[in-house]
Amino acid sequence: MNTFLHISPVTASILVTLLPLFACLVQALIGKKSISGNIALVAIIASTGISLFGVFLPIWNETTTLQKWAWFTIGERTLEVGIHLNNLTVLMQLLVCIISLPVHIYSRAYMKNDEGIHRYWMYLSLFCFAMLGLTVSINLLQLYIFWELVGFASYLLIGFWFTKETAVQANKKAFLINRIGDIGFLIGIALVYAHCGTLDLSVLFNQTGTQIAIDKNATWVTFAGLAFFLGAMAKSAQFPLHVWLPDAMEGPTSVSSLIHAATMVAAGIFLLCTVFPLFNDTVLLVVSIIGTLTALSAAIFALGQYDIKKVLAFSTISQLGFMMVGVGIGAWNAAMFHLTTHAFFKCLLFLCAGAVIHEMAHLKAKAKLDIDPQDLRHLGGLRHFMPKTFTCMVVASLSLAGFPFTSGYLSKDSIVITAYEWANHLGGVYVLIPILLTIVSLLTAFYIGRLIFKTFFGDFKYRSYIDEGIVFHEAPSLMLVPMFFLAAGSLFPLFGISLTDYHSAWIMQTLDAGTHSPILAQAHLFIPILLTGGAILGWFMGWRWYVKQKYPLSENNRFVHFAYKQGYLNEFNEHIFVRGTTGLSRILYTFDRYVVDGFTKLFSWLVRQLSVVAYWFDKHIVDGIVNLLAGTMYYIGHLVRHVQNGQLQTYLGFALTIVVLGLLYLLIK
Amino acid sequence: MITLTHFLVVSACIFCIGLYAVLAKRNTIMILVGIELMINAAILNFVAFGKYDKVNYGGQVFAIFAIVLAAAAVAVGLAIILNVYRHFNTINPQNIHELKD
């Protein structure tokens, strides 16, 4: 299979990883002289090509290969870095490449004329490098390094327009919340190293049976699993650590699409899939519950958002919740499948949204309007002006909503059906999880329908400006080509020829989770029908509400407000954590100011008083004695010195006095 | 009758006048005069006590010696005063205080 220049897959994979880093460094050196982004683009094209032909095709479903190099030795143990190529990692690496490529092309048009574009290309390459390196890391510590790099690159990109206060706040928030997760990841690594003595993934989770025996019921396994999950929660924006993702929309739209589709948020899911053998039932249950909670809460929040990008952000969180449930019920292959399909249609959704925002921003600039170009309330009826964008967006939305003939249909059904089978096998309250997932699926269909209807149907508010001659046109072809490519990827043929059977999709066939609940034949029949029917109903409701203007709820409905405010979670965080922290620091400040400083001040005051006393003693007693002596001597000398005045007669008088005194003495004696 | 005590009292008075002149006068000539008075008081004592040496008249002889010596001393003193005047342009002893340290 290896026909690509006859290089080994490992070398090819290193090339794939290092090319974007190289592009980043070159761009950093050249700086403002290169604003076209050709360096980054060439690097990612080469990476994609090598990744597909040099890595993916030789490895996928064929073999597992790895190579290690000793990094450093501590005591007896040597830490190794290396490349780990198996089905999971090559799929992930290829996915990152394939999603990054259209984003790069799209960015050329979208970011044109931006002042900081040279920085943009640099960061974008760095971001790709970090994510590509993360996918093929063999060592948990190596993975952690790339994990941090991904976080850092996303911090740079979210705050790309750093002159905007909100952008700065958003990247700070993203970074801080990711730190919480990073702590979890680090604790997990430490626990694994303490108990297994190695961080090598190929040794830890070797499928061939030579793996280190891990007692799954041990307490530390539960803790380690939860710690890894905490890391994934922050990275993959799981409730309640999802708050950074909607704010991260402050970055350029092309960056949002990359963050949401293949990099950053996907890293969390990927991590869980990688360390999946470590998880025991307790951890998996927690993962499922958090995933369900995330999916549900995000879907509800998405209903109330007016910002076009925030709707998509919450839909991402919701879909990530699905993937988490996939991992939690043991079907991590379904999660990866959904991750892959989701990457395509979510990237496409963002790129379409970006095209709409781009054109709206132009209209805003030309017509000198004072509107937010991302606000759904200002959009409407755009299908007449941007038919191609409209088509792409509908394809992506249908895929997200899980309509037949789309990739989303296959992957989402795979998770929901597996969840039903899992719940059926376990029985009891576990059934709640698939039921909630079904509800979330219907909500998903509704909110994405709402987005489409509000954006592309109805009347365009600013039609009068266009009638006056201001041009409002389709997105440029440089943006459309990547969109068409992704739209093709959002349809079912890319993943499997069967319309309904997700088991026959090639990703599902190769990736084998190894844990199966008994198959329910009815589930495979009824659930797709239920989901599709529900989705169509949802779209129909959306049509009636938003296009036919039969909106049944008032603006001030409490539920709408609750969803718009994202469940008051930000306010909750603000009140509890931010205020709590500032309150605590204020108390500590007061303590420091009055107690600690008070002691110091009291002490210094005492010393000062003591020194005043000592000074007084020194000045008046010690000096006093000396001065008194000196003064006395001076006075005596003063008395005598009148005699020595050079006056002849005084000397005579003095001599006479002495003689007289001597005579008197002699007489009296 | 004039006794020894009368001589001594007169002598003491002259001495005191001379002493006063030496200590208080603002003219060096007058100081020299004061010194002469004091010398003469001493000579008077020599003469007065001379009555106890009726053989050699030692008192009277010594007095003559002393008178000659005093005359010589006055000559020297006057010469010094003349030089002092040349040097200081004054003979007021208060203005001459080169002896001061």
Phi then psi for residue B100, to 5 deg, are -65, 145
Domain membership flag for residue B100? no
Domain membership flag for residue B45? yes
- In angstroms, the Cα distances linking A665 to A660, A669, B12, B97 are 8, 6, 20, 32
Strands, E, within A173-240: which ranges? none
CA distance A130 to B66: 132
State the pTM of this model.
0.72
Domain membership flag for residue A508? yes
Partners of A491 in the β-ladder: A406
Domain membership flag for residue A354? yes
Residue A656, chain B, CB below 8 Å: the answer is yes
Partners of A69 in the β-ladder: A81
The pLDDT, as a whole number, for residue A498 is 62
Range with the lowest mean pLDDT among A408-412, A588-592, A623-627, B36-40? A408-412
User: How many residues belong to chain A?
Assistant: 669
Whether A299 and A409 map to the same domain: the answer is yes
The pLDDT, as a whole number, for residue A2 is 46
- pLDDT score of A619 more than 80: yes
* Domains: count for chain B: 1
A502: which 2 tokens? 């997700």
Whether A338 and A441 map to the same domain: the answer is yes
Whether A555 and A649 map to the same domain: the answer is no
When pLDDT is averaged across residues A386-408 and rounded to a whole number, the result is 81
State which of A535, A564, A593 marks the end of a domain. Answer: A564
Whether A557 and A641 map to the same domain: the answer is no
Residues of A in contact with B24 (CB under 8 A): 649
Domain membership flag for residue B33? yes
Whether A577 and A560 map to the same domain: the answer is no
Domain membership flag for residue A522? yes
Of A645, A647, A652, which is closest to B22 when you measure between CB atoms?
Answer: A652
Chain A nearest-CA distance from B54, in A, is: 31
Chain A nearest-CA distance from B38, in A, is: 13
> How many A×B Cβ pairs under 8 Å?
29
Specify whether the CB–CB gap between A120 and A131 falls below 8 A: no
Q: For testing the chain A interface, which of B15, B16, B23, B91 should be mutated: the one with the most A CBs within 10 Å?
A: B23
Chain A nearest-CA distance from B99, in A, is: 4
When pLDDT is averaged across residues A337-343 and rounded to a whole number, the result is 85
Range of the domain at B83: 4-95
Of A644, A648, A656, which is closest to B93 when you measure between CB atoms?
Answer: A648
Domain membership flag for residue A109? no
What does pLDDT average to over chain A?
80
ipTM: 0.82
User: How many residues belong to chain B?
Assistant: 101
Whether A488 and A558 map to the same domain: the answer is yes
Domain membership flag for residue A293? yes
Residue B32, chain A, CB below 8 Å: the answer is no
Cis omega (within 30 of 0) for bond into A252: no
- pLDDT score of A235 more than 50: yes
The pLDDT, as a whole number, for residue A210 is 46
Range of the domain at A652: 573-668
Query: Is B97–A649 a contact, with Cβ atoms under 8 angstroms apart?
Result: no
- pLDDT score of B80 more than 70: yes
Domain membership flag for residue B80? yes
Specify whether the CB–CB gap between A347 and A102 falls below 8 A: yes
CA distance B74 to A214: 137
Neighbouring C-alpha atoms within 13 Å toward the C-beta of A559: 6
Residue A649, chain B, CB below 8 Å: the answer is yes
User: Which letter does DSSP use for residue A619 in this model?
Assistant: I
Interaxial angle between packed helices A477-489 and A332-367, expressed in degrees from 0 to 180 and rounded to the nearest 10: 160
Q: Which residues contact B46 (CB under 8 A, 6 or more apart)?
A: B59, B60, B62, B63, B66
Specify whether the CB–CB gap between A37 and A254 falls below 8 A: no
The pLDDT, as a whole number, for residue A559 is 66
The tens digit of pLDDT for each residue in A281-331 reads 888 888 888 888 888 888 888 887 888 888 888 888 888 888 888 888 877
Whether A527 and A405 map to the same domain: the answer is yes
The pLDDT, as a whole number, for residue A540 is 80
Range with the lowest mean pLDDT among A47-51, A52-56, A120-124, A503-507? A503-507
Domain membership flag for residue B101? no
The pLDDT, as a whole number, for residue A633 is 93
Domain membership flag for residue B17? yes
When pLDDT is averaged across residues A558-562 and rounded to a whole number, the result is 67
Range with the lowest mean pLDDT among A307-311, A427-431, A500-504, A596-600? A500-504
* Domains: count for chain A: 2
When pLDDT is averaged across residues A142-157 and rounded to a whole number, the result is 87
Q: Closest-CA residue in chain B for A644? A: B100
Neighbouring C-alpha atoms within 13 Å toward the C-beta of A618: 6
Whether A377 and A397 map to the same domain: the answer is yes
Domain membership flag for residue B65? yes
Residue recorded with tokens 């149907």:
A457
Split at pLDDT 50, 70, 90, the class of A666 is: very high
Whether A376 and A523 map to the same domain: the answer is yes
The pLDDT, as a whole number, for residue B78 is 93
Domain membership flag for residue B68? yes
Whether A535 and A632 map to the same domain: the answer is no
Residues of B in contact with A645 (CB under 8 A): 97, 100
State which of A564, A588, A611 marks the end of a domain. Answer: A564
When pLDDT is averaged across residues A435-463 and rounded to a whole number, the result is 81
Q: Which residues contact A25 (CB under 8 A, 6 or more apart)?
A: none
CA distance A235 to A382: 34
The tens digit of pLDDT for each residue in B48-74 reads 998 888 888 888 999 999 999 999 999
Domain membership flag for residue A45? no
Domain CATH code at residue B13: 1.10.287.3510
Domain membership flag for residue A84? no
Specify whether the CB–CB gap between B85 and B29 falls below 8 A: no
When pLDDT is averaged across residues A174-193 and rounded to a whole number, the result is 87
Phi then psi for residue B51, to 5 deg, are -65, -20
Split at pLDDT 50, 70, 90, the class of A1 is: very low
What percentage of chain A carries pLDDT values higher than 70? 88
Q: Does residue A59 sit in helix, strand or coil?
A: helix
Phi then psi for residue A137, to 5 deg, are -65, 140
Q: How far apart are the first and last CA of chain A?
A: 144
State which of A510, A533, A564 marks the end of a domain. Answer: A564
Partners of A85 in the β-ladder: A65
